[in-house]
Amino acid sequence: MDSTIFILSIGFLAQAFFSARILVQWILSERARKVLSPSLFWAFSLIGSYLLCIYGWLRNDFAIILGQFISYYIYIWNLNIKGVWHNLYAPIRVILLCTPLIAIAFVMKDAASFADEFLFNDEVKPWLLIFGSIGQVLFTMRFIYQWLYSRKKKESQLPEGFWLISLIGSFLILMYGCLRADLVLIVGQMFGVIIYLRNIYLITNGEKRGK
């Protein structure tokens, strides 16, 4: 029971950071009447991702880990392009950069055991694992899209496509969370949907005013 509470606490703390990033981005965007990409959005994203990876590991949930791993270094890239990354203490940067690599090395050391625990465990059926992984990958693709878009623009931005992908991916993860009875995923995704729709509206409305 105690371990369950501990694991859930990590998960909800991660979602708190994800919710905070959306809240900050939403408030600042509302004030500016356009969609912004604030530094705090990426800082909270990185912290939330770090914690959610731990949560996924403790839950033996490969789908969660996969989704966070893909976007993790994109968060760092955005912090770097905004000039925030190098303001962090060097030891913290090293820890943040190396943790995923150490995790990979740990997995490779005993890949068979990892597969048994994360890919072939009784808690997550194969079809559910595939469904959840598809949702997480799609949800994470928004950051790959954002990264490519921002590289082209040479500045960190959150374009309309980012929010559209967020909306679709969030819906799939919400379904996965319901099937897994995972309150952490359910609560986190329900909050985000409203903000995704609002940002799409702000971008669309801004484009109309610009014509």
Residue range of the domain that includes 78: 2-210
Give pLDDT tens digits for 168-203: 999 999 999 898 888 888 888 887 888 898 888 888
Residues contacting residue 55 through CB under 8 Å, at least 6 positions apart? 7, 10, 11, 14, 61, 64, 184
In angstroms, the Cα distances linking 172 to 57, 118, 154 are: 21, 20, 31
The region, left, alpha or beta by phi > 0 then psi within -120 to 50, assigned to residue 170 is alpha
At 101 the pLDDT is 86
Give pLDDT tens digits for 108-138: 777 777 777 767 667 778 888 888 888 888 8
SS3 for 181? coil
In angstroms, the Cα distances linking 144 to 43, 156, 158, 165 are: 17, 12, 11, 11
pLDDT at 209 over 70: no
Residue 40: pLDDT band by 50, 70, 90 thresholds? very high
Residue pair 67/79 in contact by the 8 Å Cβ criterion: no
Reported as type and span, the H/E element at residue 59 is: none
Q: What is the pTM of this model?
A: 0.84
Domain count, the chain: 1
Distance between CA atoms of 76 and 81, rounded to whole angstroms? 9
pLDDT at 139 over 70: yes
pLDDT at 1 over 60: no
Distance from chain centroid for Cα 104? 19
Residue pair 36/158 in contact by the 8 Å Cβ criterion: yes
Distance between CA atoms of 53 and 49, rounded to whole angstroms? 6
